[in-house]
């Protein structure tokens, strides 16, 4: 497999990883809210998309996690797909 294709696959997997993180976060928040474990009134007031206080905080956390996942994703791809 050539290097360009490997990088493309790595990028797709990293994007998927971020999507999984986002979905997991949203499901966990909904479950906690429904269980009465958290009151997210303040967060909902400030969580309005890119540039908003809590949205950017969550995004920074996802980016931090992804920074450490990317090398592992590359390692897996290299070990499994490179001849």
pLDDT for residue 4: 87
Phi/psi at 52 (5° precision): -90, 155
Say whether pTM exceeds 0.75. Answer: no
pLDDT for residue 32: 94
Inter-residue contact 10 to 70 (CB < 8 Å): yes
pLDDT for residue 82: 65
| CA 54, 55, 61, 64 torsion-angle sign | negative
Q: Say whether pLDDT at 83 is over 60.
A: no
Which residues have a Cβ under 8 Å from the Cβ of 56 and sit 6 or more positions away?
50
Q: Mind listing the pLDDT tens digit for each residue in 1-60?
A: 688 888 898 889 988 988 899 899 889 999 999 999 999 888 888 777 777 888 888 888
Q: Closest Cα to residue 13, out of 74, 82, 79?
A: 74
Q: Mind listing the pLDDT tens digit for each residue in 64-81?
A: 998 888 899 888 888 887
Distance CA(38)–CA(58), nearest Å, equals: 17
Q: Closest Cα to residue 17, out of 9, 28, 29?
A: 9
């Amino acid at each position: 497999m050539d290097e360009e294709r490997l990088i493309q696959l790595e990028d797709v997997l990293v994007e998927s990883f971020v999507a999984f993180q986002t979905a997991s976060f949203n499901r966990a928040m909904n479950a906690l809210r429904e269980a009465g474990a958290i009151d997210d009134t303040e967060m909902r007031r400030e969580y309005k998309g890119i540039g908003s206080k809590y949205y950017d905080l969550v995004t920074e956390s996802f980016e931090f996690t992804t920074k450490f996942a990317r090398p592992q994703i590359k390692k897996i791809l290299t070990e499994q797909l490179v001849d």
